[in-house]
Chain A
Amino acid sequence: MARVVLTAALANRFTGGETTMELEVDSVRKLLKALDADYPGLSEEIQNAQLLAIDGEIFQEAFLQKLKPDAEVYVLPKLGGG
Chain B
Amino acid sequence: MDTKVKQSQGKLKWVGTRQVRPDGVDKVTGRARFGADYSLPGMLVGKVLRSPHAHARIISIDKSKAEALDGVKAVVSGEDFPDIAKEEAFIGEGPINFRYMAHNMMARDKALYDGHAVAAVAATSEEIAQKALALIDVQYEVLPHVIDVRDAMKPDAPILHDDLFTEGVTPEPTRASNIAKQVEFGRGDPDAGFAKADVIVERDYSTQPVHQAYIEPHATLASVDEEGKCQVWASSQGHFMVRAYCAKLLGLDLANIKVTPTEIGGGFGGKTLVYIEPVALLLSRRCSRPVKIVMDREEVFRSTGPAPGSHSTVKIGATKDGKIVAGYAEMRLQAGAYPGSQIGPAGMTAFAPYEIEDVKAVGIDVVVNRPKVAAYRAPGAPLAEFPVESAIDELADKLGMDPIEFRLKNAVKEGTQSCYGPVFQKIGFIETLEAVKNHDHYQTKLGPNQGRGVASGFWFNIGGESTATVNVNEDGSVVLIVGSPDIGGSRASLALMCAETLGIDYKQVRPLIGDTDAIGYTFLTGGSRVTFATGLAAIEAAKNCIDDLRKRAAILWDIDVSNVEWRDGVAHPVDAYSDEHEPMTLKQLAAQSAKTGGPITGHIALNAEGAGPGFGSHVCDVEVDPETGRVEILRYTAVQDAGRAIHPSYVEGQIQGGVAQGIGWALNEEYIYNAEGRLDNPGFLDYRVPVCSDLPMIDTVIVEVENPNHPYGVRGVGEVPIVPPLAAVANAIEAATGKRLADLPMSPPKVLAAIDE
Contacts and interface: CB of A to CB of B under 8 A. Distances in A.
A61 B607 contact: yes
A81 B183 contact: no
Most chain B beta-carbon contacts within 10 A, residue among A56, A72, A78, A82: A82
B269 interface: yes
Nearest to B89: A48
Interface in A1-24: 5, 7-9, 12-13, 17
Given A58-B460, A82-B719, A8 B422 contact: no
A9 to B, nearest CB: 4
Contacts of B181: 9
Contacts of A5: 421
A49 B181 CA distance: 15
Nearest to B460: A79
B308 to A, nearest CB: 12
B377 interface: yes
A18 B375 CA distance: 32
Chain B contact residues (Cβ within 8 angstroms of A): what range?
A: 35 or more
B344 A76 contact: yes
A49 B528 contact: no
A56 B423 contact: yes
B78 interface: no
A77 B345 CA distance: 8
Given A56-B423, A57-B425, A61-B609, A78 B94 contact: yes
Contact of A60 (B377, B462, B526, B719): B462
Contact of B184 (A8, A55, A80): A8
Interface string B449-482: 0000000000111111000000000000000000
B725 interface: no
A59 interface: yes
B75 interface: no
A14 to B, nearest CB: 12
A73 to B, nearest CB: 9
B369 interface: no
Contacts of B527: 79-82
Given A57-B609, A81-B269, A82-B376, A76 B529 contact: no
Chain A contact residues (Cβ within 8 angstroms of B): what range?
A: 20 to 34
A72 B89 contact: no
A56 B422 contact: yes
A74 to B, nearest CB: 4
Contacts of A34: none
A53 interface: yes
Nearest to B377: A82
B95 A77 contact: yes
Contacts of B269: 81-82
B422 A81 contact: no
B93 interface: yes
B4 to A, nearest CB: 25
B529 A77 contact: no
A70 B167 CA distance: 32
A53 B462 CA distance: 12
A81 B344 contact: no
Contact of B422 (A48, A60, A74): A74
A81 B423 contact: no
Interface string B523-536: 00011110000000
A81 B93 contact: yes
Q: Which 9 A-B pairs have the closest CB atoms?
A: A81-B527, A82-B269, A80-B93, A77-B344, A53-B422, A74-B421, A9-B168, A82-B377, A56-B423
Interface of A: 5, 7-9, 12-13, 17, 48-49, 53, 55-62, 72, 74, 76-82
Given A76-B344, A77-B183, 20 more contacts: A12-B169, A13-B167, A48-B88, A49-B95, A58-B460, A60-B463, A74-B420, A74-B422, A77-B95, A79-B344, A79-B462, A79-B527, A80-B90, A81-B459, A81-B526, A81-B528, A81-B529, A81-B718, A82-B93, A82-B377
18 contacts: A5-B421, A7-B183, A8-B183, A8-B185, A9-B184, A13-B167, A49-B95, A60-B607, A61-B607, A72-B422, A72-B423, A76-B348, A79-B462, A80-B527, A81-B378, A81-B527, A81-B529, A82-B378
